[in-house]
Copies of this chain bind each other. A is one copy, B any other.
Amino acid sequence: MRIGELSERAGVSTRTLRHYEELGLLPARRRANGYREYDEADLRLLAEIRDLVELGFALEETRPFLDCLRAGHPTGTSCPDARAVQLRKLAEVDDLIDRLRAVRAELADQLDAPAPRCHLTC
C-alpha cells in the first residue's frame, strides 16, 4: 500500500510517516516511480510505535521494540534491550507520579487555606 492508505488505516499523518522514515524507525520500500510502498507488517510496527508513544515513550525509545519485532519475536517486549527500556520507563513513571502527588498536595493545601485577610477586596 502507498503512504496515504497506511496513513488512513493507522490514523497518523503522512508527514508523521515520512518523519519516522527519516529517523530510520519505519523505512519504506520504493516503487519504480519513487512512491513509498508499505505492507501489513509495517502497519503492525506502526501500531507498536503509536502504542509506545501513547504510553510516554520517546520515538527513539521505541527502536529496540521495533528491532525485536523485526527479528521475528511475537511481541516488542520479548527482547532484553526492549525490556530494559521498559523497566527504565516504569521507574520514570513511578518517580513522576510521586512528584505529582506532592505537587497535588501542595496545590490542594493552598486552595483549602482560607484566603488571608487583607485591606482590599478580601
List the number of copies, as a whole number.
2
Is B55 touching A107 in the complex (CB atoms < 8 A)?
yes
Of A19-27, A38-46, A91-99, the stretch lying at the interface with chain B is A91-99
| A: number of interface residues (CB 8 Å) | 37
Contact of A73 among B87, B113, B118 (CB under 8 A): B118
Which residues of B lie under 8 Å from residue A73 when comparing CB positions? 118, 120-122
Is A97 touching B101 in the complex (CB atoms < 8 A)?
yes
Cα distance A89–B89 in the bound complex, in angstroms: 25
Q: Mark A61-94, 1 if CB is under 8 A from B, else 0.
A: 0000000000111110111000100110110011
A116 touching B86 in the complex, CB below 8 Å, given contacts A103-B56, A122-B73: no
Is B103 touching A93 in the complex (CB atoms < 8 A)?
yes
